[in-house]
Amino acid sequence: MKKILFILLVFVVASCSKDFEEMNTNTKSPVAVSGETLFTNAQKNLADQLASVNVNTNIWKLWARYITETTYVDEANYDIVNRTQPGNAFRTYYRNVLRDLQESAVIMEEATFAAPEDIAAKANRLAIVEILNVYAYQRLVDMFGDIPYTEALKVDETTTPKYDDAEGIYSDLFSRLNTAIAELDDANGSFGSQDIYYGGDVAMWKKFANSLKLKMAITVADVSSLNPKAAAEAAVTDGVITDASENGTLVYLGASPNTNPLYLDLVASGRHDFVATADIIDTMKFYVDPRMDLYYDLAPGATTQLGGAYGYSNAYDLYSHLTATIEEPTFESMLISVEEVEFYLAEAIERGWAVGGTAEDHYNAGITASIMYWGGDAAAATAYLADANVAYTTAPGANWKEKIGIQSWLASFNRGFIGYTTMRRLDFHTFPQPPQARTDDGSTPVRYTYPIDEQTLNGANLDAAAAAIGGDNMLTKLFWDAN
Amino acid sequence: MRKIMFLLALFLFTGMQLVQAQKTVTGKITDAKDGSGIPGVTVLVKGTTIGTISSMDGTYEISFDEKYNVLVYSFVGMGTQEIEVGSQSTIDVKMESGITEIEGAVITALGISREKKSLGYSTQEVSGDDLNTVKNENFVNSISGKVSGVQVKTNSNFGGSTNIIIRGTTSLTGDNQALFVIDGVPVNNSNTNASSQRQGGSGYDYGSAVSDINPDDIESINVLKGAAATALYGSRAANGVIIITTKKGNKVRKGEDAIGITLSSSVTMGIIDKSTFPEYQTGYGAGYGPYYSGGDHPGLFEHIDFDGDGNPDLSVPTTEDASYGEQFDENLMVYQWTSSVPEHEDYGKATPWVNGAKGPIDFFNNAYTFRNSVAVDGGSEKGSYRVSYTNTTQTGIMPNSKLTRNNLSVSGSHEFGKGLTVSSNVNYMNTLTTGRNSTGYSNNILSSYRQWWQTNIDIADMESLYMDLPEGQKRNVTWNPHSLSDGTPEYWDNFYWSRYENYTTDVRDRILGNVQADWKITDYLSILGRASVDYYSSIQEERLAVGSTSRRWGISRLDAGSGYSRYNYNFRETNFDIMANFTKNLTKDLSLNAIVGWNVRRTNINTIYASTNGGLVVPQLYAVSNSINPVNAPVEGSRIYGVDGIYASASLGYKNFLYVDATIRRDHASTLPEESSSYFYPSVAASYIFSQHLKADWLSFGKVRVNYAEVGNSAPFASIYDVYSKPSPFGSTPMFSVPSVKNNINLMPERTKSIEAGIEMMFLQKRVGFDFAVYKTNTIDQILPVSVSTATGYSYKYVNSGEIENKGIELAVFATPMRRDNFSWDVRLNFSKNTNEVLSLYDDVDNLVLGSYQGGITINATVGEAYGTIKGTDYVYVDPEDRNSDKIINGNNGRYLRSAKSDETIGNITPDFNMGLTNTFTFFKNFRFSFLLDWQKGGSVFSLDHWYGDATGLYKFSEENNDLGNPRRDPIVLIDPSTGDHSAANIDPSSGGIINSGVIPVLDAAGNPTGEYEENAMRIRANWYGTDGYGVSPNARFVYDASYLKLREMSLTYVLPKEILGEGFFKGASFSLVGSNIWIIFKNLPDADPEAGLSSGNLQGFQSGVMPTTRNFGFNVNLQF
């Protein structure tokens, strides 16, 4: 009996395991990493989201009328319930871009660097993180209107972040961007090779940031309380992108998983989901646009580009598709470009802002940059600009908005959201309605509705935001979309 | 049953026979009813602890001191007899048999045998015969309808997983599956199905690990339902326990024939139940509507000059995977997909435009299962053994699907003297499965058949164009080519290609075993030590052949046109138990049974997943190294769990009518923060056998019981500390990311509190009886990765929060309405109603998304509702509070309005109740006929199959006539087309189209709604994909009631009578004709089995591309030598 008790005792004592906590360690994942690596991941996720044409992820190229669908036409008909694109956008921007940027900054703030170049680069790195924060938040606001901002990314404080007023967010973004620009010092380096956009070139980031500021100012040009004129003028004074070599891009690699998402969606998927729309093809034909061959291929047996009716079923083989250039795995994703900047500048002049040059100069520069970017030559650009329908002074259109709008839209090809936002901002054209439009009156949506997930996970705040913006509807105009 | 008693009795009396004796009595104990010998009857010398038990044939021999004079014969369920010995040296005893099942001894938690009447909680047994007569690939399927309080959801996937829940869902996001314990060894029943697979993404159902257990080795199972019954197991048994007792050899007396051989063989054939497969329309072929040519046949293409005559020829729009196209007309010659395939006889030819001669149903084969087993058992005075081997070979209804399982089981025990008995049980299982069916939406043949299909396809063409091509020349020639000039598959591969080229293989090798030593130290104290291991290694391989359509593949989940992936999963769980058992009569009336024990559990799971990247270089070489792009780093997983538990229990019995049990267990779990990693769970139970005091002729037995228990539960692995995830680097630039789940350093154990009361009664000499239980279970402080707004930067956050309440009643009734010499009729009924309510979640969150599905559907836990609300878009009703009020239709387009929000509650997966009814008829003692009806009332299921299939014009209803008696697909004919008015007044009687039933708002002169409604009369076209389904209908339209009534099992068994067998070679023989899932007598879900689904687990209530159910018929032979 005593022996038994002894054995029992030994066992019980032995069972107070000392290694218990170690057992619960995830031995395959790190607990500490450098902030720079998180920054890179945010860059990659952001660029992927911008480039994608996946119907679950990015449907702006549809809504901007650059392409339409073949068999499954729901997204072209503004169905964003079935595939929950707004929720996917929230997840990508907040979780995969902004959260990693936030973590990156927190780690870098606390890090003590040893190498002198790292110590010198720290301020630049933090400023660049801030610039991408502003870029991502602006995109979110321009998609939805009011969004979680001041309470966002604070999981320990709240899991139901309130939605902030979109105009207030813009105001704060301007201020954050100004601070970041002021912090940038191109005498020092930044991320080096961990920066997969500019390779750590701080001077380039400065141009990127100022171009972003110009873009934001133009977007809210009609909201005088945000002082867009002053912001735009300051940005130009400080220096915006003036050459395609300064474009903010991510150049992809040849091998999966680092190819352009377009390559995956259009080539690797083996699918035939998209064709050109009649809307853009007919427009380009009207302008005899030299970029038509550079944007779209010829359907088998066709002698000219043909576009399908937007939102209807279209046989893939009957219509034009995106060209092989765009389908290359290494094709770059564009965050901000010189032609975009030039069109903003043309617009700024028309609005009476002191950004230098004439509207026509910038208009011509934008068109030329676009043609050159897509592989056209200067002669083609010159000829195009000489056409009475294109030349700034003679081009058709009730006002500058229509002139700049249509050419900006043509130049923004492959940048769905920019094209779509140009449509919203400048209202240059009315396209025919698709047959099964999910909007109440059949017209093109002017915003995403809030994610379905938010209805259940953050319902009270969402309801408040919906009330504040005038209803969570695809046809509720954003605060800057007044005119 | 008696065998178990025999073993137990052996166990209890081992080591008690060493007493010096002066007098010997021999005899035979027989059943008063049929005269057969009863083994295992305890024979005790009154006033001593001297005793023995009767042998296999009922004989016994006992020696004792002459001063004692009374022998006590007892057998559980047969009462006790005392006989004065006097001068007799031979005493034969007849014992009255009762209904042993309800009063006998049962195996309870930790393998402790208890008299059932003494238990203060609910358990229910199923005998091996009841499980095995009608065999299933997974024996868990055989439990359905046989135990109250247990909900079994079989699923029709080949080798697929089975969901088994006892007394409702208690954990919001944790595992709710019952724990299986085989001979004291916990058996892992995890399923490795990916989270995306469970939510309808492409993948496979790799089945439940517990299906490895050979049903032929099961002697009986006992279901411990409530927390009080399972409290000794600690946290892991919070969901109830299924205790499996395997067959063992029997110890015999010296000189007896010790060896027995059992051979059994069965063959089963499964035939598709057509009520679980689509009924197709047969009038119209490929297309999404009349879009393609402008001519006489707008549903067909005519832009290809196929025969070279300069004129465009009519051809089928082969890219279109829908059947809203041209009406069939055998005189209409068109170019079809086969026209461009050189190997096909229709090459270059136009063929009649007709419905496919062989439709999807002809794709399937009959399923066959062959099962052969041999078991040898035997024993000596000192020990016993049993060896069994079973081979199961199963082919599924899909071509190229096969499951082979080998089970080898060895068990034995030996008595070493001085009270020490050592026993061991080792099982080796090997399961090899080839060609599992895809599940979910993408790349699933069934989602084509149910959602995206052309009714003009002849399956025979697909078959011959794959099967008849010589090896090496096989191509992916599909019905869905990009065009007639470009045979690249558009969305769907040739289905034979899919089955024979893109097949899965998976194998699992498993060893499950234990060694146990029982040491009877004195007559009141014994010690048990046990070491057990459950180890398996499995590999799952998936293939995508060069030439297939692209799909998301491998680690990156990026599109690739070919590929290979492998998932190695190694599991090991060890348990060490030591338990001291003290049993003594404290006074004449008061008995005590006390147990103290200690358990050490370690679980180690190691996984690695590797895949090709971007495709295969060399076709048909399925190796990770054969990758086009450099491979992504394999995904490694390493999880170690440890739980140390100490426990104690005490049972007091007073005069055999009042029993009180108390248990306590303390667990120390490795997955919780140190300061909260140890926790206690107590239980207390009492039972009172009132029939001891309420003597009445009509009452044979009566007992009431009541209990209270708490059980805890620890956290998932590594959910305390935050780590970073590592995406593939961008070239040579490393990247890290914050993961999607926010861990929590402050986690506490979750806790379930339950109370239960029950009453058991038997009447009329135990011919009728029932067991009724009521219970209430509250699970609080749940550890859950609650979904959070992604604006937090995370998708989930671990919290301790939320409460679920389960309240329910269970009723098990048995009766023998008729008992004659040559006929008896037995009835057993099991009824369970569980009411589940989510009481709270997290902060002010009142909804937790458990799963998100295509179609915008979510499965949720919603405060104030039962677990598993289905949410999506609903109709808009005239009375928003009343879903039975009229549905509002958009007056502009004649379509149903859809709710503005997508989180309307449109269903709930939890059923109202389940009931099983077994009737057994015995004729001439040798024939037994039995059938089981299984009924589920309520629960909802969303059908993605109809969500899409009703839009693509596949189903029968879409070609039926409309209210005017015309084919609904005919165009709408307006009397005055110039007005465009689609209301009744302007519709020609010859018109096609349909009118959605509902109301439209009445507008005033200014066009504003008046608040009044009128009957909708607007006719809409019904000849295109925009008529119904995913594009235009609310989700609620495709939520169906999941009720069913099934004839689950039927069997006719003939046992060869002893007279025929004689004393010869055969000791026994029986033959059975059996059937399972024979008839779905009633269901509300069209074209599918309401039980069909994606996987076991918490996410149910969603169907996409589900397999049809088979009716299974079989024949069993069982021979004993």
What integer pLDDT is reported at residue B247 of this predicted model? 87
* Rounded average pLDDT over B995-999: 95
Banded model confidence at residue A249, pLDDT cuts 50, 70, 90: very high
**Closest CA relative to residue B1091, chosen from B1074, B1075, B1078, B1108:** B1108
- By the CB < 8 Å criterion, does A325 face chain B? no
Q: Does A162 touch chain B (CB under 8 A)?
A: no
Say if B302 is an interface residue toward chain A (CB within 8 Å).
no
The DSSP letter of residue B556 is T
**B858 at A interface, C-beta within 8 A:** yes
Cβ separation of A457 and B856 shorter than 8 Å?
no
Number of Cβ within a 10 Å radius of residue A183:
16
Residue B391 neighbours by CB distance under 10 Å: 16
Q: Is B1071 exposed, middle or buried (0-12, 13-18, 19+ CB in 10 A)?
A: middle
Rounded Cα distance between A11 and B578, Å, is 9
Is pLDDT above 60 for B158? yes
Whether residue B738 and residue A17 make contact (CB cut-off 8 A), yes or no, is no
Residue B843 sits at the chain A interface (C-beta within 8 Å): yes
Q: Quick count: other Cβ atoms within 10 Å of Cβ B767?
A: 17
Q: What is the mean pLDDT of chain B?
A: 89
Q: Does A152 touch chain B (CB under 8 A)?
A: yes
CB contact under 8 A, A24 and B718: yes
Q: CB of B771 within 8 A of CB of B704?
A: no
Locate the chain B residue with the closest alpha carbon to A254.
B629
Query: Which among A32, A95, A457 has the least Cβ separation from residue B787?
Result: A457
Interface test with A, best of B572, B643, B789 (most A CBs within 10 A): B789
Q: What is the pLDDT of residue A18?
A: 61
B191 vs A207, more confident: A207
- C-alpha A127/C-alpha A205 separation (Å) is 9
Residue type, B140: V
Chain B residues with CB-CB distance to A441 below 8 A: none
Residue type, B823: F
For residues B491 and B452, the answer to whether their CB atoms sit within 8 Å is yes
Mean pLDDT lowest among A223-232, B335-344, B504-513, B850-859 = B850-859
Q: How many CB atoms lie within 10 A of CB B213?
A: 24
How many Cβ atoms from other residues are within 10 Å of residue B778's Cβ?
Answer: 18
Q: Which residues of A touch B483 (CB under 8 A)?
A: 317
At residue B13 the predicted structure's pLDDT band, cuts being 50, 70 and 90, is: very low
Query: Model confidence over B360-369: pLDDT tens digits?
Result: 999 999 999 9
* Record: contact B736-A1, CB cut-off 8 A: no
Q: Please state the length of chain B.
A: 1121
The answer to whether B791 contacts A94, with C-beta atoms less than 8 Å apart, is: yes
Chain B: residue nearest A262 by CA? Answer: B559
Show which of residues 361-420 on chain A sit within 8 Å of chain B, judged by CB atoms. none
Q: Does residue B242 surpass a pLDDT of 80? A: yes
User: Are B725 and A29 within 8 A, CB to CB?
Assistant: yes
- The verdict on pTM exceeding 0.90 is no
- Whether A154 contacts chain B with CB within 8 A: yes
Mark yes or no for CB contact B788/A159 under 8 Å. yes
Range from A83-87, A217-221, B149-153, B214-218 that averages highest in pLDDT:
A217-221
Summarised one tens digit per residue, pLDDT across range A62-104 is 999 999 999 889 999 999 988 889 999 999 999 999 999 999 9
Average pLDDT over residues B1071-1089: 95
Disruptive mutation site among A23, A78, A103 for chain B (greatest number of B CBs within 10 Å): A23
Band of the pLDDT at B608, cuts 50, 70, 90? very high
CB contact under 8 A, B789 and A268: no
Task: Note whether A458 contacts B: Cβ–Cβ < 8 A.
Answer: yes
CB contact under 8 A, B730 and A196: yes
Put simply, the answer to whether B641 touches A23 (Cβ < 8 Å) is: yes
Cβ atoms of B954 and B280 closer than 8 Å: yes
Q: How distant is the Cα of B878 from the closest Cα of chain A, in angstroms?
A: 19
**B590 inside 8 A of chain A by CB:** no
pLDDT of residue B9: 41
**A211 to chain B nearest CA, in Å?**
26
Residues in chain B with CB shorter than 8 Å from the CB of A272 are 319, 482, 490
Residue of B nearest to A5 (CA): B580
Query: What is the rounded average pLDDT of the residues B552-581?
Result: 94
| Closest Cα in chain B, distance from residue A418 (Å) | 23
Asked whether the beta carbons of residue B903 and residue A456 sit closer than 8 angstroms, the reply is yes
From chain A, pick out residues whose CB is under 8 angstroms from the CB of B742.
155
* Alpha helices (runs of H) in B412-518, residue ranges in sequence order: 445-451, 459-467, 495-501
Separation between Cα atoms, residue B548 and residue B478, nearest integer Å: 10
pLDDT in tens, B647-687: 999 999 998 889 999 999 999 999 999 888 898 889 999 99
Answer whether B414's CB lies under 8 Å from B382's CB.
yes
Cis peptide before B342 (omega within 30 of 0): no
- Closest-CA distance, A302 to chain B, in angstroms, reads 12
A153: left (phi over 0), alpha (psi -120 to 50) or beta: left
Tell which A residues from 15 to 74 touch B, by Cβ distance under 8 Å.
15-17, 20-21, 23-34, 37-38, 40-41, 44, 70-71, 74
Q: Does A256 touch chain B (CB under 8 A)?
A: yes
Contacts of A451 in chain B (CB under 8 A): 790
* Chosen from B733, B845, B870, B871 to mutate, greatest number of chain A CBs within 10 A: B733
Q: Are B1029 and B949 in contact (CB under 8 A)?
A: yes
**B271 has which bridge partners?**
B1111
Which of the two residues, B484 and A200, has the higher pLDDT score?
A200
A198 and B CB contact within 8 Å: no
Q: How far is CA B781 from CA B8, B747, B749, B842, in A?
A: 41, 9, 7, 10
Shortest distance between the Cα of B722 and any Cα of chain A, in A, equals 7
Please compute the mean of the pLDDT values over residues A155-182 and round it to a whole number.
96
Cα–Cα nearest to B734, from A200, A333, A35: A35
Q: Of all helices (H) and strands (E), which one includes residue B947?
A: helix B944-949
- A268/B614 CB distance under 8 A: yes
- Rounded percentage of chain B residues whose pLDDT exceeds 90: 60
CA distance B361 to chain A (A): 26
- Please name each of the domains of chain A with its CATH number: 1-24+35-252 (1.25.40.390)
Instruction: Quote the minimal CA–CA distance from A259 to chain B in Å.
Output: 10
Give A265's contacts in chain B (Cβ within 8 Å): 559
* pLDDT mean over B768-790: 92
Nearest neighbour of A452 by CB, restricted to B646, B720, B856 = B856
The C-alpha torsion from B337 through B342 and B344 to B347, rounded to 10°, is 60
B636 touches chain A (CB under 8 A): yes
User: Confidence band (pLDDT; 50, 70, 90) for B99?
Assistant: very low
Nearest Cβ partner of B490 from A32, A272, A453? Answer: A272
The residue of chain B with its CA nearest to that of A95 is: B793
Q: Are B995 and B1020 in contact (CB under 8 A)?
A: yes
How many other C-beta atoms can be found within 10 angstroms of the C-beta atom of residue A391? Answer: 15
Cross-chain Cβ contact B731/A253 below 8 Å: yes
Give pLDDT, residue B692: 84
Q: Give the tens place of pLDDT for each residue, B1002-1031.
A: 999 888 889 899 999 999 999 999 899 988
Model confidence pLDDT, tens digit, residues B289-346? 988 877 788 889 877 778 888 888 899 999 999 999 999 999 999 999 999 999 999 9
pLDDT tens digit sequence for B444-473: 999 999 999 999 999 999 999 999 999 989
> Is residue B45 a contact partner of residue B61, using CB atoms and an 8 Å limit?
no
Say if the ipTM goes beyond 0.90: yes
Instruction: Tell me which chain A residue has its CA closest to the CA of residue B723.
Output: A31
In chain B, the residue whose alpha carbon lies closest to the alpha carbon of A78 is B1031
Q: What pLDDT is recorded for position B6?
A: 45
Percentage of chain B exceeding pLDDT 70? 95
Question: How many of the other CB atoms lie within 10 Å of CB of A421?
Answer: 26
